[in-house]
Structure 1
Amino acid sequence: MKLIVVVFALVAVAVAAPPEPPKILRSDFNQEPQGGYVFSFETEDGITRNENGEVKQVLDEENKPRDVVIVRGSYTYTDPEGKPETVNYYADETGFHAEGASIPKPARK
């Protein structure tokens, strides 16, 4: 009887084990001494991401210059219906901005 319980416990653990994460097919990262960078990767399940950052000088609330990193990029994945979805984005001193079919559009007045 104990053997049956142990076997069922082992089967339950094997079934409940999380799936293997997708393997990374390609990954690149290059950092510039000034703070800029280029980054990208691709996984075996079709996820891709490409991003670059560029240092830019902007004026703060007190009109003093400061450096910020302006980020631009995109990522692609497969949605639950099996269609590829791409999101393009950028982030700068005004905040994060994203566009894509799955990103809600603001209501127009």
Structure 2
Amino acid sequence: MNLNGKRIRVLGVIDLCVSQNERSQGLGSKLLKEVDAFSIGRNIDFHLLFADNMALYLKNGYKRVENRVKWLKINDELQMTNGIGHEPISEIMIKEVSEMSWDEGELDLLGYLY
């Protein structure tokens, strides 16, 4: 990805799910600890995800950021590209896992919004 013209290396966390009858037992936090362990020594700057409910992620060291985001808009139903999205998004959560710090500004996903 690209943050304000600077290349960043991101591990995207997509669709972290715990069955409803298994929630509140620490499984989400265990999964996020596995993501942390996986990232060690892998040249990753940030973990990045989009969340409506941020409580689990805040509890596990993530922080909410708001950036103007650019991404490739894809219509999955029609299997076609609809153009480029470019707007502020406030549901972004990141965890810094290198010496690099996150900046406000423009985040180019260099692909689709996941």
Query: TM (normalized to structure 1)?
Result: 0.23
User: 1 or 2, which has the higher helix percentage?
Assistant: 2
User: 1 or 2, which has the higher strand percentage?
Assistant: 1
Larger RCO: Structure 1 or Structure 2 (Cα < 8 Å, ≥ 6 residues apart)? 2
